[in-house]
Amino acid sequence: MTKPYIIAEAAQGFEGNKDVSKLLVRSAAAAGADAIKFQLVYADDLAEKGYEYYDLFKSLEMPDEDWLEVRDLARKLNVDFVLDLFGPESIRLAKTIKADGVKIHSTCFFDEAFIKSVLDLGTAVYLSAGGIRFDEVEMALKKFEFRKSKNFVLMYGFQSEPTPVESNNLARIPALREKLGVKDVGFMDHSDGDGPHTTSLSAVAVGLGVRVFEKHITLDRGLQMEDYVSALGVRDFAAYVRSIRELCTAMGTASLELTEAEEKYRGRAIKRVVAKKDMQPGAVLDMDAIKLSRASNMAGAFKLEEILGRKLSAPVKKGEGIEKEMVA
Q: 5-251 adopts what CATH topology?
A: TIM Barrel (3.20.20)
Pairwise CA distance, residues 37 & 74, whole Å: 10
Q: What is the pLDDT of residues 245-290, one digit of tens each?
A: 999 999 988 899 999 999 999 999 999 999 999 999 999 999 999 9
pLDDT for the residue numbered 146: 87
Give the CA distances from residue 94 to residues 81, 115, 212, 326, in Å, rounded to whole numbers and listed in that order: 10, 14, 21, 72
pLDDT for the residue numbered 1: 54
Domain boundaries, the chain: 5-251, 260-326
Q: State the Cα angle at 7 between 210 and 57, rounded to 5°.
A: 125
pLDDT under 50: residue ranges of the chain:
none
pLDDT for the residue numbered 107: 97
Q: What is the pLDDT of residues 129-165, one digit of tens each?
A: 999 999 999 999 999 988 777 789 999 999 999 999 9
What do you get for the CA distance between the two ends of the chain, in Å?
45
pLDDT for the residue numbered 145: 82
CATH number listed for the domain at residues 260-326? 3.90.1210.10
* Fold match flag (5-251 vs 260-326): no
**Nearest CA to 87 among 42, 38, 48?**
42
